[in-house]
Amino acid sequence: MKYIDTHVHLYDEAYDGDFDETLQRIKEAGVGCCIFPAIDMENYERQTGIARKCGSFVREAIGVHPTSVGANWRMELDFVEARLAERNADGAAENRYVAVGEIGVDGYWSKEFINEQKEVFREQLVLAHKYGLPVIVHVRDAVEEVFEVLDSLQEMDIKGVFHAFSGSYETYCRLKKYGDIKIGIGGVVTYKNAGVAKVIERVPLEDIVLETDAPWLTPVPYRGKRNESSYLQIIAEKVAQVKGCSVDTVAEATTRNAIELFNLNSLM
Ligand SMILES: [Zn+2]
């Protein structure tokens, strides 16, 4: 196994027409494992159905995405807690969730439920801690809100990844103070003028995991088309170029990081 896609929505309808061929391509590209972040109750059946179909190649997370936080947020949260209780308390090891996610705060799409988003984020961080799981965090236009929540849990060590990281080097350094934090790097790093390429010049490889966030955020030269996990190779090449090392070094380090972060050793 060369790569792990730490963030991919392969259960999205975008793959309905050619799922088997896509999965085949992904495996042939050296990807040995895909992690499915959850979105909400509405998407859960599809996610779990596709994950089951893929066997041990796919590992699942469970959580409420910040953009899915609305008037029924308490019900969404209860759903996450119930799934964790049934699968991580007494489920078979291979069925267990490897993370709580994706969770976080998103001030870009709407600020209507921003306070509820913060509460749902906070409660899911507590849940992850209770079950000894890392978190997959989504932040968009809400860095200060995220720090407010992290500050409210200061006695709690956080373990997780800030996916599709687009913050500054200073934000990365600030995050590191809260625990074992990695940043997820995907297709955006290949975009012209992407600030994140500059940022990862200074971030050690030990703190980077690779992701596609497919079907979105497709790397150059496929930008504008549907994304897929086989493009991890392109992302790794760009990271290698920025870091001035070989692609193999990037692949080995980021895969090792992902195995350690999501505790995949015991499952593989
Ligand atoms: Zn995502």
pLDDT tens across the length of the chain (268 residues): 899 999 999 999 999 999 999 999 999 999 999 999 999 999 999 999 999 999 999 999 999 999 999 999 999 999 999 999 999 987 788 889 999 999 999 999 889 999 999 999 999 999 999 999 999 999 999 999 999 999 999 889 999 999 999 999 999 999 999 999 999 999 999 999 889 999 999 999 999 999 999 999 999 999 999 999 999 999 999 999 999 999 999 999 999 999 999 999 865 5
Q: How far is the CA of 143 from the centre of ligand 1 (A)?
A: 17
Q: Tell me, what's the pLDDT at 22?
A: 98
Q: How far is the CA of 234 from the centre of ligand 1 (A)?
A: 19
Q: Tell me, what's the pLDDT at 268?
A: 54
Name the residue among 19, 9, 33 with its Cα closest to residue 209.
Answer: 33
Q: How far is the CA of 102 from the centre of ligand 1 (A)?
A: 7
Q: Tell me, what's the pLDDT at 85?
A: 95
Q: How far is the CA of 136 from the centre of ligand 1 (A)?
A: 9
Note whether 187 and 213 are within 8 A (CB).
Answer: yes
Q: Tell me, what's the pLDDT at 252?
A: 97
CA-CA distance, 164 to 187, in Å (whole number)? 9
Residue whose token pair is 């720090």: 147
201: number of Cβ within 10 Å: 11
Q: How far is the CA of 9 from the centre of ligand 1 (A)?
A: 7
Q: How far is the CA of 213 from the centre of ligand 1 (A)?
A: 5
Q: How far is the CA of 150 from the centre of ligand 1 (A)?
A: 21
Name the residue among 114, 120, 72 with its Cα closest to residue 100.
Answer: 120
Q: How far is the CA of 85 from the centre of ligand 1 (A)?
A: 23
Q: Tell me, what's the pLDDT at 95?
A: 86
Q: How far is the CA of 155 from the centre of ligand 1 (A)?
A: 28
Q: Tell me, what's the pLDDT at 9?
A: 98
Q: How far is the CA of 7 from the centre of ligand 1 (A)?
A: 6
